[in-house]
Amino acid sequence: MAFEISVLLFIMLFLFAAGIPIAFVLTAVGLVGILFQLGVPGLYQFAQQFWQGGMNFIYICIPLFIFMAIALEKGKAGGLIFEVAAKWLKRLPGGLLISTIGASTIFAALSGTSIATAATVGLVAYPEMMKRNYPKRMTLGAISVGGGLGMLIPPSIPLIVYGALTGESIGKLFIAGIIPGIVLASLFCLLIFFRAWRGDVAVAEQTSTWREKFVSIKNAFWGLLLIPIVIGGMYLGYFTPTEAGAAGMILSLVVTMLIYRTLKVKDIPEILGDTLRVSIMIFVLLLGAALFSYVMALYGIPALATKWVLGLDMSPLGIIVMLNIFFLILGCFVDAISLMVISLPFAYPVITALGFDGVWFGIVLMVNINMAVETPPVGLNLYVLKGISKDITLADVIMGVIPFYSCELVGLMIVILFPWLSLWLPALMG
């Protein structure tokens, strides 16, 4: 068996190095593992595992939330939300930088993805701050880390994937991410406040009148209303996550097509196409992960990994720290969803065997992965921001994000040391 496991590991590393997409790597390893363990007759498991994995009803909510995010992005809802944050927060030290974090926090509750949040807020915020002579790198750093909040604040697509892979309640995962997301956003704002107080931001914003503030809320009202309907409906028990996704999708069309009139019927095929592309990418990864997990179970690897970790002379907290270091390193080279489908078959059984709550660990993992989307060479947010303007270089984005890493590390430690921040709201759900 040791020889077979070594061969599977070699195949995986070779295919990764060859640049093969991770979904196909996992599928190939799964097929070879089935041949080793069950022979040719066992290949029916290829179809069986794909069928069982694809029958998971919770997967339906993935394209629904993705459609909602794309419709709101193309419907210019991000600009209205940024205007609200700018009118209410720009007089604070750091002005529009803090407004960017505020707008990202709100839009993350509508988009579900860090990339959509960073792209939407960045396209609106970056030109405005450049006109006002904000430091370029600090601006890009704020936009990038603000976009990363889409990992935590519901409806988070990575949290849906985590729930699908582990069996944890997606509704509870959504609600569990709210307070840690706000904590992380507050840490970003505190850093901006401190740097502005120190003199790194020499921009004085004019005070908005109360009329301007309330007009901004009036203009963005219908977009903002989606947050209490979708998230509040799940919290109170009126919606399952899938029903919340369906409600959000329909309401996003009502808001953008009938109220704001920023979308037209001719835009729907493009939105459907974008939704299909992103959803298929996620589904192929999940199906590959289902086959990979089946083969790992055939070899008993999760049980062996659990036994090995529990045999270490380390405290449970020390093991959590060790796992987070592993995730931080792996997150530098693979995207968030790929990281989960590769690592959770081994890590999740260890966590549950140690007696930790699976919902809490999901939020810890999201805070960790939040750094991965901003870390080269595979930090997707970095490349998204590089593409919003011709005067932006990748070095500008990376240097802008570096000061915010301290906030993310502090946020990770807070979420690890105070589990109630993640578990209090889910315990009160309807």
Give pLDDT tens digits for 136-178. 889 889 988 888 888 888 888 889 989 988 889 898 999 999 9
Place of tokens 């697509």: 157
Q: Does the pLDDT of residue 379 top 90, yes or no?
A: no
Identify the pLDDT of residue 304.
Answer: 79
Mean pLDDT computed over 165-193: 92
Q: Region 216-226: what's the mean pLDDT?
A: 89
Confidence at 205, pLDDT banded by 50, 70, 90: low
Residue 306 belongs to a domain: yes
For residue 24, tell me if it sits in a domain: no
**180 pLDDT more than 90:** yes
How many structural domains are present in the chain? Answer: 1
Classified as helix, coil or strand, 391 is coil
> Could you tell me the two tokens for 163?
């729930």
Domain span at 357: 45-427
Residue 185 maps to a domain: yes
Q: Is the peptide bond before 228 cis (omega within 30 degrees of 0)?
A: no
**Highest mean pLDDT: which of 89-93, 168-172, 206-210, 235-239?**
168-172
What single-letter amino acid sits at 206?
A: Q
CB–CB of 35/240 below 8 Å? no
Q: Per residue in 6-52, pLDDT tens?
A: 888 888 888 878 878 878 888 888 888 888 887 877 777 777 777 77
What mean pLDDT, rounded, does the chain reach? 85
Neighbour-count burial for 296-318, b at 16+ CB within 10 Å, e otherwise? bebbebbeebbeebeeeeeeeee
Q: Are 271 and 74 in contact (CB under 8 A)?
A: yes
With respect to residue 49, please indicate whether it lies within any of the assigned structural domains.
yes
Contact 370, 184 (CB under 8 A): yes
Handedness of CA 71, 282, 228, 191 (dihedral sign): negative
Residue 405, number of CB atoms within 10 A of its CB: 14
pTM, rounded to two decimals: 0.87
Residues near 245 by beta carbon (within 8 Å), at least 6 away in sequence: 60, 61, 62, 64, 65, 68, 155
DSSP string covering 75-125, please? Answer: TTHHHHHHHHHHHHHTTSTTTHHHHHHHHHHHHHHHH--HHHHHHHHHHHH
Report if residue 20 sits inside a domain: no
Assess if residue 57 is contained within a domain: yes
pLDDT band at 295 (very low <50, low <70, confident <90, very high): confident
Banded model confidence at residue 378, pLDDT cuts 50, 70, 90: low
- 377: preceding bond cis by omega (within 30 degrees): yes
- Best CA proximity match to 336, nearest among 107, 202, 138, 165: 165
Taking the C-alpha atoms of residue 25 and residue 301, their distance in angstroms, rounded to an integer, is: 18
pLDDT tens digits along 76-135: 888 888 888 888 887 777 778 888 898 888 888 887 777 778 888 888 888 888 888 888
Compute the C-alpha angle 279/53/40, nearest 5°: 120
Residues 120 and 349: their CA atoms lie apart, in Å, by 37
414 touches 183 (CB < 8 A)? yes
**In Å, what is the CA distance from 92 to each residue of 69, 190, 196, 205, 210?**
29, 11, 9, 8, 15
Res 185: pLDDT: 93
Residue 191 has pLDDT above 90, yes or no: yes
pLDDT of residue 256: 92
Q: Compute the distance between CA of residue 20 and CA of residue 22 in angstroms, rounded to an integer.
A: 6
Domain for residue 3, yes or no? no
Q: DSSP per residue over 117-181, as a string?
A: HHHHHHHHHHHHHHHTT--HHHHHHHHHHHHHGGGTSSS-HHHHHHHHHH---HHHHHHHTHHHH
The predicted pLDDT at position 85 comes to 85
Mean pLDDT computed over 306-317: 81
> How far apart are alpha carbons 13 and 416 in whole angstroms?
31
Lookup: tokens for 252: 């996003």
- The CA distance from 160 to 170, in Å, is 6
DSSP 307-363: HHHHTSS--HHHHHHHHHHHHHHHTTTS-HHHHHHHHHHHHHHHHHHTT--HHHHHH
Q: Does residue 353 lie within any of the structural domains?
A: yes
